[in-house]
Structure 1
């Protein structure tokens, strides 16, 4: 908790003493009783009555001093308060919010596959306010009924009535992204709806006056993002307040506008400029600052907590310079507190669980340092290629597409220090600190690959949307080091690839081999903590245990938290669903701040420029494989040791229909018989059990995968 310095307390005490003396009836010119700031728990101290009485009756002076003392203590304690961050809570908007959600790019794939389905789930679960409109805006010429039919197939149809209610709240407006006319119409429609939701159907005169006053206030504000007073001294919105005062009295309804930019970032600058000019002023004149305070103090201002916010989709540039240029162009119109740069990985359940895992569990947090941890791997694998959509990917590559953003955020959460509080900026401050401790990755700190045709599947260069002869990597393993006291010397390998053998996102933390083990060498049985984000969320620790039986033998097993087993029947929300709700609540914890973005780009920009110049070798790998062979030695050189361990071959989370011991035993016998029939016998069975995870293919990296060389994905 931050406190005012003692000299500030003394100054505050003197000011309050003057006010308290006047309130207690001391005549003008009579000195109030001197006040000494007490130690905690002590009472206020005054000079004896009469010592500074200035001719007052001693009894009257004592009574006045006692009253003044109480008043002074109450007022003084108002100056001794925690940091505003310590008192922060995410907004619970309740049912009084009138919310407009505008989806720009409503005709695109992202909107229909992610944005609208996430909004529907929030609507279905009761997390959106009753007074709601969702406006789609795009260049495509389409009517509102056509938009609703287009969306219907992407919504959960289990509750037809709820689907219809949701679709009835959706409308569509055609407009260009680089022309003002569409945004003017959009702003007018938003104000008209807000007026109607506040007081009923407004007259044309009211709407015209409110719109004109809002535009005048906006011009006066000179781009002020939080509704601050313009140069002329009058707060923005006063004219609008006068025009709208007859509509809803001295305090208006609580209003919210959320603009979701499901658009390519190349159009962000002009879209953000037009939104600020024509759509940022709430009905009644409020500017909707990101902190939730209303703009201006006119009679018809929107209620406390009204807001205007923007959600922006990646990519945010292609290197540090382009990212900064984009941030400058957006920041010229919108302040940071109103911008929500979405990274859907920050909405995943187990990514959000990282803070809890690290800072609420001493059993884990105690070994999160260089003294115990040998190496860390952060892995992302997709089992499909570009599939005809290589035009976008070819201009970015796997590092820009996945590693610089999604996996860098996981890295920051995994290695940051404990934040002062759960305030979004306290958390993001720590993420920025640790990202700034990471030196830029060098040419010797990466292995790149590009998938080739195999087993009937096309190679990357076979995609007609990919530039012929492209050297864009579809696989990358990058090694980085955090140069601080906690992590210095610990290699962190970030791996990502397309057209691999499975779908997987996981963190693998391998601990050092125990020194001077009484059980002999244990390099092949290192402890590991694995967090699997997808598929089938799980957290498990690999450990050495005594093998059941009469002999003193040991083997590796696991402490296992598999979410499908532990949380049966619990539906884990989609990442977009969670993040959109956070934005409505004003919680920026899981959104990327500008300085975070800058720090992440600084790590990878030199390497990206070298890759673009062709200075880094590109290794081909077969479609459906585990990646380039060259990555094996790279990971071994980073300290990774292959472990003799396998995930349970028949695990309830993977076979939910099998729950009895007899069923599990039968399945195990069938698996053993199949291995023997394949010609491997018992030795092959042991190799199949040990091989997958040893190379990363078992446990978090898959179930029942074929043996593979150590160190691969």
Structure 2
């Protein structure tokens, strides 16, 4: 196990700290230790996010970034590898970076703070050496980011605790960021929580869900609670149904081995989609401090009725207009029954939402890429228009577009110009790009920044994690046999059985168009 300092960057750049973005203060000085420094997550998301924070002047001059990974490597080589990845992303996706290209001064600012450490994640020597280095540098604030396979979560946190790396002092924090999957069912989530909380306090654990880092997701609370138009009707008396969609056009790509063990339901429902549901359905918090918001979301998860096999539909994409079937993908068993599509009907047993169905769906190789929330209001009485040429009234639907389009739209009825009372459906829409300057964002900037500030609002607590898994326990471990998996053509809108589930309630999915 070795560490190598960074000597490749010019010392003149070290004194240059970009000015902070308007209205935001730089995060406090800290050391960010990334376990899994050579992995895809670090290259694709963490380092681009850190770069964007540096460009915005939101990182302190005393920031250090220590990368821990298997295999010997010089810091200069790690830095070069990271920069090559960033250059590629800048060329491929201009919106990820300021001006569509790397700012050399900002990158040098980051590069000078990099240090690579080679070692095994389950070796006590790594943690002892890490502690010696942190102590010799004066201790201070440290964030340990677990960008590793979930099988390393327990041993890393255990060794951090035993090495004394999680001990906090006056005005000194030690925090651990853990990626999903946080367990694979209720029992494993409880076991993982119990284990890590043996060595750390709940306030030190930041369970991250990258969906919550999206500006459009955080805007859900702004739409609901900053506008008098919406909150009075945000209840069962006026809302007929809510649909939450996370559709992808891509298949499993090179993640067949991971997907075979996980499937669409575990991968998306108890975390990403439940988090969106929580923000849509939660009661107004007394303030936007972390515990107030998380308490209200926890109340929603606690009020969700447990799902049963009849409340879900599983699907698996087969050969179709969009490509090959799932069973033909790399690292997928030829007789696999893993679901690549999952839909669920969820009810919340509280005063505000009693009787209102929340329909959730996610899938791969679907017709269109789209993440959105559609809130459909109840129909007005038809009687007034009974003697007019009106076949049906288009329902009023407020749609919150999260990805790839960012904005909102509202469907409603108006009179068609002319002498006859004839109604026509129209849509009013808002796009963020028409009102706000585009900002570089990969979805992790806010989450990293909030972790450095100690703001836990967008991170999940142990109780909410366990409650979410409890809701789906009967689906994951059904007593009457596994949930059937239905085929659907790659490039379609999903299995017909998903449409039938809504049809039983007299509803239909919003089309993917």
In the alignment, is residue 563 of structure 1 matched against residue 437 of structure 2?
no
Distance in 2, matches of 1:319 and 1:523, equals: 44
2:343 to 451, 455, 477: 477
| 1:603 corresponding residue in structure 2 | 471
Distance in 2, matches of 1:456 and 1:354, equals: 32
| 1:593 corresponding residue in structure 2 | 461
Q: CA deviation at 1:258?
A: 0.9
List per-residue Cα deviations over 1:76-126 (Å, max 9, x = no partner).
xxxxxxxxxxxxxxx97658x431111110011111111111111111211
1:185 to 126, 129, 133: 129
1:270 to 131, 155, 178: 155
| 1:637 corresponding residue in structure 2 | 504
List per-residue Cα deviations over 1:183-241 (Å, max 9, x = no partner).
1111111222337xxxxxxxxxxxxxxxxxxxxxxxxxxxxxxxxxxxxxxxxxxxxxx
Q: Report the secondary structure of 1:375's partner residue.
A: strand
Residues 513 and 522, structure 1, Cα contact 8 Å, conserved in 2: no
2:116 to 154, 157, 172: 172
Q: CA deviation at 1:416?
A: 1.0
Q: CA deviation at 1:550?
A: 4.4
In the alignment, is residue 130 of structure 1 matched against residue 130 of structure 2?
no
**Number of aligned positions between the proteins:** 475
Matches within 5 A, 1:46-125: 94=26, 97-125=28-56
List per-residue Cα deviations over 1:442-498 (Å, max 9, x = no partner).
121111100012247221111231233121110011001101111111111100001
Q: Report the secondary structure of 1:363's partner residue.
A: coil
Q: Report the secondary structure of 1:448's partner residue.
A: strand
Q: Report the secondary structure of 1:582's partner residue.
A: helix
In the alignment, is residue 624 of structure 1 matched against residue 491 of structure 2?
yes
Larger mean Cα displacement after TM superposition, 580-589 or 411-420: 411-420
Matches within 5 A, 1:245-256: 255-256=140-141
Task: Give TM-score, length-normalised by structure 1.
Answer: 0.64
| 1:705 corresponding residue in structure 2 | none
1:518 to 369, 381, 384: 384
Residues 45 and 442, structure 2, Cα contact 8 Å, conserved in 1: no
Q: Report the secondary structure of 1:396's partner residue.
A: helix
Distance in 1, matches of 2:472 and 2:162, equals: 36
| 2:407 corresponding residue in structure 1 | 538
List per-residue Cα deviations over 1:650-698 (Å, max 9, x = no partner).
xxxxxxxxxxxxxxxxxxxxxxxxxxxxxxxxxxxxxxxxxxxxx633x
Residues 374 and 639, structure 1, Cα contact 8 Å, conserved in 2: no
Matches within 5 A, 1:243-642: 255-278=140-163, 280=165, 287-288=167-168, 294-295=169-170, 304=171, 306-455=172-321, 457-520=323-386, 523-567=392-436, 569-571=437-439, 573-610=441-478, 614-640=481-507
* Long gaps (5+) in structure 2: 1-22, 91-100
Change (3 A) 1:478 1:456: closer
Residues 26 and 57, structure 2, Cα contact 8 Å, conserved in 1: no
| 1:194 corresponding residue in structure 2 | 138
Q: CA deviation at 1:349?
A: 1.1
In the alignment, is residue 696 of structure 1 matched against residue 497 of structure 2?
no
Q: CA deviation at 1:275?
A: 1.3
List per-residue Cα deviations over 1:23-54 (Å, max 9, x = no partner).
xxxxxxxxxxxxxxxxxxxxxxxxxxxxxxxx
* Long gaps (5+) in structure 1: 1-90, 196-254, 282-286, 289-293, 296-303, 642-694, 703-713
Change (3 A) 1:517 1:535: farther
| 2:98 corresponding residue in structure 1 | none
The structure having more radius of gyration, on CA atoms, is 1
Change (3 A) 1:609 1:421: same
Residues 375 and 638, structure 1, Cα contact 8 Å, conserved in 2: no
Residues 421 and 427, structure 1, Cα contact 8 Å, conserved in 2: yes
Q: CA deviation at 1:398?
A: 0.6
Change (3 A) 1:572 1:525: farther
Segments ≥4 residues shifted beyond 6 Å: none
List per-residue Cα deviations over 1:143-164 (Å, max 9, x = no partner).
1111111101232443123212
Residues 374 and 640, structure 1, Cα contact 8 Å, conserved in 2: no
List per-residue Cα deviations over 1:42-70 (Å, max 9, x = no partner).
xxxxxxxxxxxxxxxxxxxxxxxxxxxxx
Matches within 5 A, 1:159-238: 159-194=103-138
Residues 322 and 491, structure 2, Cα contact 8 Å, conserved in 1: no
CA RMSD of aligned residues (A): 2.0
List per-residue Cα deviations over 1:413-452 (Å, max 9, x = no partner).
1111111221211111111111111111112111110001
Distance in 2, matches of 1:115 and 1:172, equals: 15
Distance in 2, matches of 1:610 and 1:622, equals: 27
Q: CA deviation at 1:546?
A: 1.8
List per-residue Cα deviations over 1:612-631 (Å, max 9, x = no partner).
x8532211011111111222
Distance in 1, matches of 2:56 and 2:63, equals: 14
